[in-house]
Amino acid sequence: MKIEKSIVPSTKGDITLFTLTNASGAKVTLSSLGAGIVSVVVPDINGHMDDIVLGYANAADYFYDGPCAGKVPGRYANRIAKGHFTIDGKEYTLAINNGPNALHGGPEGFQNRIWDATAEGNTVTFSRTSPDGEEGYPGTMEVKATYTWSDDNKLTLHITATTDAKTVVNLTNHAYWNLEGHNAGSALDHTMWLGCSKYLPTDDTLIPSGEMAPVAGTPMDFTTPKRVGEEIKADFPALNYGKGYDNCWVVDGWSKGKMQHVATLTSQPSGRVLEVSTTQPAAQVYTGNWLAGSPANKSGRSYDDYDGIAIECQSMPDSPNHSNFPSTLLAPGETYDQTIEFAFKTK
C-alpha cells in the first residue's frame, strides 16, 4: 500500500490530504477537514478507473458546504426536532440550522472542523476532542474515525467515541456516490437494494413520527432491487417533503455490534457495484435532491440535483426524543463503536 500526503492551506488551518493506493492501482483520498472521503478511484467492468465519489476542486470548499459531501457530521448526524433533547431531566438546546430543526451537529459541527490525522500502512486515523458545550452538547467527547483501504477495494470506516458526561452521539459518513463517475450526471438510473422492510415516516420537516412503517406497497420498497428513480416522482408524502428520497430505513435483524450487509448500489453501464455493510441500526438514503449550487466539482462545474446518492449508515434521526428507537445516549465508561464498510466490485 502506498500512502501520499499533501497539505492545503486554508483560512482555518492546514488541511491534510492522504491518498492510499492499493496493489491494483485503485485509490482513495481522505481529508482531515471533516474526516472526509474526497475521492475513490476504482475500476469498471473493463478495468477503466474513474473517481466515483462526488467532491470539489478546492479542498477548502468543503467548509460549510450544503451537501456535507463525504464528511463525518456530528456530534449528531441528521435531525433533532426543534433542537431540543433531555438527559436526566435537564434540557439541552442546539442551534436551529435546518428549517425548525437542528441538523448534523450544528453550524460548526464535526464536518466543518479540521481533525488531527495520522497514517500508517493502509490506515488513516482522524481524531478530535469535542469540548463540553460545543454546539450545545454536554460532555467532553474524544472521537476517532479510522479508515482502512484494502487490496480488494474495501474502504472500512471505524468510528469510536468516549465522553466524560452523558451526551448523545450519532456519527456516519456523508459520501455521495455515482458509479459512472462523479461527473457523469444523474445517478437515478442506478439500481438499489436495501435490507430494510421498514422505514421512518416523517412530518414535512423530515422529523420522524416515531412509527416504523412497512415499505411494502410503497415507493419506499427496495427489498427487491429497483431503479432509484423509478418511483421518485410518485405522489407520496416522504417524496413530496424532500423532492426525492431523504429518508431513514430500519435495518432488518439489527442487533448491537452485528455487522451486516444493508445496501447494494449497482450501475449497469460501468458494471460497478457498491455493497454497504454496517453495525448501525438504520440507513438514511439521500438522492442529492439539493445538490445544485454546490461548489465547483473536480471537473469544474457545480453538481446538479440527483447527481449522486448518499447511503448514510447511522442511528435514527431524533432518537433522543423517541424512546422506541435504539438509544443514542453515551455515558462515561462506555464507548460508541460503529463500523461502515464500502466494498467496490464489478459484475
- Enzyme catalytic residues: 174, 312
- The C-alpha angle with vertex 58 and arms to 300 and 4, in degrees rounded to 5, equals 115
Distance CA 121, CA 135 (A): 35
In the block, cell 448514510 appears at 312
Which residues have CB under 8 Å from 159's CB, separation 6+? Answer: 72, 143, 144, 145, 146, 171, 336, 337, 338, 339, 340
Joined grid coordinates for residue 70: 463525504
Q: Where are the alpha helices (DSSP H) in the chain?
A: 237-242
**Under a CB-based contact definition with an 8 Å cutoff, are residues 142 and 110 in contact?**
no
**Cis ω for the linkage preceding 128 (within 30 of 0):** no
State how far the alpha carbon of 52 is from the alpha carbons of 27, 42, 230, 290, 342, in Å.
Answer: 11, 8, 22, 19, 12
Distance CA 161, CA 314 (A): 14
Distance CA 211, CA 318 (A): 12
CA atoms within 13 A on the CB side of 142: 8
Distance CA 162, CA 215 (A): 35
Residue 30 has phi, psi (to 5 degrees) of -120, 150
**Under a CB-based contact definition with an 8 Å cutoff, are residues 222 and 216 in contact?**
no
Q: Where are the alpha helices (DSSP H) in 230-288?
A: 237-242
